[in-house]
Amino acid sequence: MGDVLAYEAELLGMVKEYLEFAEFEETVRSFTKECKIKGKPVPKTGGGSAKDAKDLMIQDLLTSFTDGDQDVFFELWEEHVPPAIRDNEAIAQKLEFYLHIHFAIFLLKRSVVKPPSVSAHCYNKAALDERISRFKMYLETKGAALSQTTEFLPFYALPFVPNPMIHPSFKELFQDSWESDLKTRLEDFLSATLKATDAPRLLTLYVSFPNAVKTIVLL
């Protein structure tokens, strides 16, 4: 009995974490209320839950997208989006392709704050060249898988166009609506993907030790 009491707070926390993960909102409220009535340790909510961790993760990715911080973005992307999804699912591959375009032209888009005759010289050329070079490397490596796809074929010429802002094939990329739509697609993808991979501890325990847990349940 003493051992049970020693771990009671953690066990109750695992139960609440699972209920929150499964979105049993009324049950969570009843569970918390009954814990108080019975004098049990009330499981804490907040930054430690799987849902909060997922929301924070998504926010970090969206912020780095908006700020044009490709180093931070792709570090988070590779850390939190499972390789099986990134490398094998068409939706993820296509989204990643457009994300690389977004970061490649980010400085060019932000330079459009003066008349066209001046704006082309408002950015740091070395920084822009570095981004274009990274995009070209992506096209030659991981991005090469989509080179035979009609939807993406025109973008393989992007690194070689002197001023893509006025090129008929790329003008759409510099519209605010294009970036806004891409951000929405990114958020939807992350919400669906990360929700599927953020398993609460109770579920992880059950999956990892199915025979032991099922035996205990049957007893």
pLDDT at 81 over 70: yes
- Measured from the Cβ of residue 56, the count of other Cβ atoms closer than 10 Å reads 11
17/44 Cα distance (integer angstroms): 9
Do residues 148 and 201 lie in contact, with contact meaning Cβ atoms separated by under 8 Å? Answer: no
3-state SS assignment for residue 40: coil
Do residues 85 and 97 lie in contact, with contact meaning Cβ atoms separated by under 8 Å? Answer: no
pLDDT by residue (tens digit) across 84-120?
A: 999 999 999 999 999 999 999 999 988 764 444 444 4
Which comes out higher in pLDDT, residue 11 or 127?
A: 127
Q: How confident is the model at residue 164 (pLDDT cuts 50, 70, 90)?
A: very high
Name the residue with tokens 């992307």: 77
CA 172 to chain CA mean position, Å: 24
Kindly write down the DSSP assignment for every residue of 5-17, as one continuous string: HHTHHHHHHHHHH
DSSP class of residue 175? S
Encoded tokens for 96: 């990643």
pLDDT at 137 over 90: yes
pLDDT for 195 equals 63
pLDDT for 117 equals 43
